[in-house]
Chain A
Amino acid sequence: MNNTKNIMIVGVGGQGSLLASKILGYILTNEGYDVKVSEVHGMSQRGGSVVTYVRFGDKVYSPIIDKGEADYIVSFEILETARWLPFLRPNGQIVTNTQQIDPMPVITGAVQYPQNICEKIKNLGVKIDALDCLTLAREAGSAKAVNIVLLGRLSHYFDISQQSWEKALTANVPAKFLELNKKAFVLGKDSVS
Chain B
Amino acid sequence: MKELMLGNKAVARGLYEAGVCFVSSYPGTPSTEITEEAVKFDEIYCEWAPNEKVAMEGAFGASLAGKRAFCAQKHVGLNVAADPLFTMSYTGVNAGLLIVVADDAGMHSSQNEQDSRHYAIAAKVPMLEPSDSAEALAFTKTAYEISEKFDTPVIIKMCTRVAHSQSLTETGEREKHEKTYEKNIEKYVMMPGNAKKRHPVVEARTVALTEYAETSPLNRAEINSDKIGIITSSTCYQYVKEVLGDKVSVLKLGIVNPLPPKLIKDFAAKVEKLFVVEELDPIIETFVKSLGIAVKGSNILPRIDEFSQNMIADAFGEFVDAPKNANYTQIDDPIPSRPPVMCAGCPHRGLFYSLKKRKCTVLGDIGCYTLGAVKPLGAMDMTLCMGASVSASHGFNKMLGANDKNVVAVIGDSTFVHSGITGLANVAYNQSNSTIIILDNSITGMTGHQQNPTTGLNIKGEPAGKINLEALCRAMGFNRVRVVDPYNLAECDAAIKEETAANEASVIISRRPCALLKNVKHKPPLEVDKAKCIGCKACMRIGCPAISMKDGKSVVDTTQCVGCGVCSQLCPKDAFISTK
Tell me the A residues contacting B by CB distance below 8 Å. 1-2, 12-14, 25-26, 29, 34-49, 60-64, 66-69, 79-80, 82-83, 85-90, 102-114, 117, 120-121, 124, 126, 143
Q: Do A83 and B335 contact each other (CB < 8 Å), given the known contacts A68-B326, A107-B543?
A: yes
B84 at the interface (CB under 8 A from A): no
> Which residues of A are found within 8 Å of B374, using beta-carbon distances?
104
B239 at the interface (CB under 8 A from A): yes
CA distance A106 to B323 in the complex (A): 39
CA distance A69 to B167 in the complex (A): 19
Tell whether, in the assembled complex, residue B328 and residue A36 are in contact, meaning their CB atoms are under 8 Å apart. Answer: no
Contact of B337 among A43, A103, A121 (CB under 8 A): A103
CA distance A126 to B480 in the complex (A): 63
19 extra A-B contacts, CB within 8 A, seeds A13-B340, A114-B331, A120-B331: A35-B167, A36-B167, A37-B165, A46-B340, A46-B342, A63-B161, A63-B165, A68-B326, A79-B336, A86-B330, A87-B328, A89-B328, A102-B545, A107-B548, A108-B376, A108-B543, A109-B540, A117-B331, A124-B331
> Which residues of A are found within 8 Å of B227, using beta-carbon distances?
none
Tell whether, in the assembled complex, residue A67 and residue B108 are in contact, meaning their CB atoms are under 8 Å apart. Answer: no
B404 at the interface (CB under 8 A from A): no
Tell whether, in the assembled complex, residue B164 and residue A47 are in contact, meaning their CB atoms are under 8 Å apart. Answer: no
Interface centre among B166, B331, B341, B537 (most CB of A within 10 A): B331
> Which residues of B are found within 8 Å of A104, using beta-carbon distances?
338-339, 341, 374-375, 543, 545
B332 at the interface (CB under 8 A from A): yes
> Which residues of A are found within 8 Å of B161, using beta-carbon distances?
38, 63-64
Contact of B338 among A60, A80, A108, A109 (CB under 8 A): A80
Give the 7 A-B residue pairs with the shortest CB-CB distance, closest first. A68-B326, A42-B109, A42-B29, A46-B340, A48-B340, A63-B165, A103-B338
B433 at the interface (CB under 8 A from A): no
Q: Do A42 and B326 contact each other (CB < 8 Å), given the known contacts A105-B337, A106-B548?
A: no
> Which residues of A are found within 8 Å of B167, using beta-carbon distances?
35-36, 60, 63
- B503-522: which residues lie under 8 A (CB-CB) from chain A? none
> Which residues of B are found within 8 Å of A87, using beta-carbon distances?
328
CA distance A174 to B341 in the complex (A): 29
Tell whether, in the assembled complex, residue B168 and residue A85 are in contact, meaning their CB atoms are under 8 Å apart. Answer: no
B463 at the interface (CB under 8 A from A): no
CA distance A40 to B537 in the complex (A): 34
Q: Which residue of A lies closest to B161 (CB)?
A: A63
Q: Which residue of A lies closest to B330 (CB)?
A: A86
B317 at the interface (CB under 8 A from A): no
B334 at the interface (CB under 8 A from A): yes
> Which residues of A are found within 8 Å of B242, using beta-carbon distances?
61-62
Tell whether, in the assembled complex, residue A68 and residue B30 are in contact, meaning their CB atoms are under 8 Å apart. Answer: no
CA distance A29 to B1 in the complex (A): 10
Tell whether, in the assembled complex, residue B310 and residue A66 are in contact, meaning their CB atoms are under 8 Å apart. Answer: yes
Tell whether, in the assembled complex, residue B166 and residue A38 are in contact, meaning their CB atoms are under 8 Å apart. Answer: yes
Q: Which residue of A lies closest to B167 (CB)?
A: A36
- B528-572: which residues lie under 8 A (CB-CB) from chain A? 537, 540, 543, 545, 547-549, 559
CA distance A38 to B6 in the complex (A): 9
A108 vs chain B, min Cβ distance (A): 5
Contact of B326 among A37, A45, A83, A89 (CB under 8 A): A89
Tell whether, in the assembled complex, residue B30 and residue A126 are in contact, meaning their CB atoms are under 8 Å apart. Answer: no
> Which residues of A are found within 8 Å of B543, using beta-carbon distances?
104, 107-108
Tell whether, in the assembled complex, residue B340 and residue A62 are in contact, meaning their CB atoms are under 8 Å apart. Answer: no
> Which residues of B are found within 8 Å of A34, using beta-carbon distances?
168
Main secondary structure of the interface of B (DSSP, over half): loop
CA distance A102 to B32 in the complex (A): 30
Q: Which residue of B lies closest to A111 (CB)?
A: B336
CA distance A86 to B329 in the complex (A): 5
B39 at the interface (CB under 8 A from A): no
CA distance A45 to B330 in the complex (A): 25
Tell whether, in the assembled complex, residue A39 and residue B164 are in contact, meaning their CB atoms are under 8 Å apart. Answer: yes
CA distance A193 to B118 in the complex (A): 54
Tell whether, in the assembled complex, residue B338 and residue A38 are in contact, meaning their CB atoms are under 8 Å apart. Answer: no
B114 at the interface (CB under 8 A from A): no
Q: Do A86 and B328 contact each other (CB < 8 Å), given the known contacts A61-B239, A108-B376?
A: yes
> Which residues of B are found within 8 Å of A64, using beta-carbon distances?
161, 308-309
Q: Which residue of A lies closest to B447 (CB)?
A: A42
> Which residues of B are found within 8 Å of A109, using beta-carbon distances?
537, 540, 549
Contact of B165 among A36, A47, A80, A110 (CB under 8 A): A36
Contact of A69 among B168, B326, B336, B340 (CB under 8 A): B326
B170 vs chain A, min Cβ distance (A): 13
CA distance A85 to B125 in the complex (A): 45
B221 at the interface (CB under 8 A from A): no
CA distance A48 to B331 in the complex (A): 21
CA distance A139 to B238 in the complex (A): 43
> Which residues of B are found within 8 Å of A90, using beta-carbon distances?
326-329
- B258-278: which residues lie under 8 A (CB-CB) from chain A? none
B502 at the interface (CB under 8 A from A): no
Q: 12 A-B pairs, CB-CB below 8 angstroms? A: A26-B4, A39-B165, A40-B164, A45-B448, A60-B167, A68-B325, A86-B328, A102-B548, A103-B339, A108-B376, A112-B336, A124-B331
B160 at the interface (CB under 8 A from A): yes
B392 at the interface (CB under 8 A from A): no
B473 at the interface (CB under 8 A from A): no
Contact of B336 among A60, A66, A89, A113 (CB under 8 A): A113
CA distance A114 to B336 in the complex (A): 8
B124 vs chain A, min Cβ distance (A): 31
Tell whether, in the assembled complex, residue A44 and residue B109 are in contact, meaning their CB atoms are under 8 Å apart. Answer: yes
Q: Which residue of B lies closest to A89 (CB)?
A: B326
> Which residues of B are found within 8 Å of A88, using beta-carbon distances?
328-329
CA distance A12 to B341 in the complex (A): 11
Tell whether, in the assembled complex, residue A1 and residue B323 are in contact, meaning their CB atoms are under 8 Å apart. Answer: yes
B220 at the interface (CB under 8 A from A): no
CA distance A189 to B158 in the complex (A): 39
